[in-house]
Structure 1
Amino acid sequence: MKRQKTVKDSEATMTEMVLPNDTNTLNNLMGGKLMHWMDIVAAISAQRHSNSIVVTASADSISFKNPIALGNVVTLKAQVTRAFNTSMEVYIEVFAEDIPANSKITTHRAFFTFVAVDEKGKPVQVPALKPITEEEKELFEGALRRRQLRLILGKRMDPKDAAELKSLFDLEDTSKNQ
């Protein structure tokens, strides 16, 4: 039987302060710097789940909701939402805190995918994930649809084979109309 872990086992939190060298000409955090931090915290989460070296397979659905200002404290939280055979989807939430103003907002959300590998870079099996809370179950269920969409967009899956997405797309044979 495949070993199982909970979402809590994979939780990772990282905190950074936005300094002048991290900002663009508008004194907001550069997107590339934020994506770098997101990749780090997500990789830590994936490593905690898999107990393996991990490599980033994809970074998608990064939504830039609010800018992060110079001097803000940035908190990044990551957790594995679903484990497949050798890959894991990780959900990241980003919060910006203006400590002097006593305000904290959610600024970004994203899904990254990691593959667990051995020392030679060969993919290795990861533990199954057991969601417990309602939010964990919702993210777990949606992960299969997001995975199939990633595979279709990467031309690694035919849309007709995406069973979880059939309700979202009209996948009837269009060759009859041509």
Structure 2
Amino acid sequence: MTSVNAAGIATRDEMLSYMNTGSGDQAVWSLIGQGFTELTEALNAKTKDSQYIHQKSGTSSVIGYAPTFTFVAELDKADPVASFIANIGRERKIGAECETDIVNVYSWLPGTTEGSVVAYQQHVAVKVDNSGSGVGGEAMGLAGALLYKGDAVKGEWNPTTKTFTAK
């Protein structure tokens, strides 16, 4: 794992994301990395706005979230994550066929178990906008979003064994 730089600023390479590219009950955790140039989380906070009769100004509250993780990548044929995502788009899978799990790993936050770090497991639907196309002579593009389904499960990630343990 990498560490926080001298200025104390966490860098993008320190937040690792893994996707379950396995099938059935056999989880295979593959790093989302090779060919990926962007993986941006938007929390999409849901708010409730109210203005009560005794107030001149309104009141806003955060009542939930609808997070997404947009991605942009080159279609690396040898990468299991890129292949998994491209296949969803090529086959135009829907419903449960385009769902999997991801684990977001915060490598600078130590877990409570020796050698582990804080992580969150999240069930997602894979929305593919581009399953492989582009300009002649250039790498084929892959783009879309991971749509979060339900609440994340907080836990710990063991980087040596690539296992997530809910806490």
For normalisation by structure 1, the TM-score amounts to 0.27
Higher helix share: 1
For normalisation by structure 2, the TM-score amounts to 0.28
Higher strand share: 2
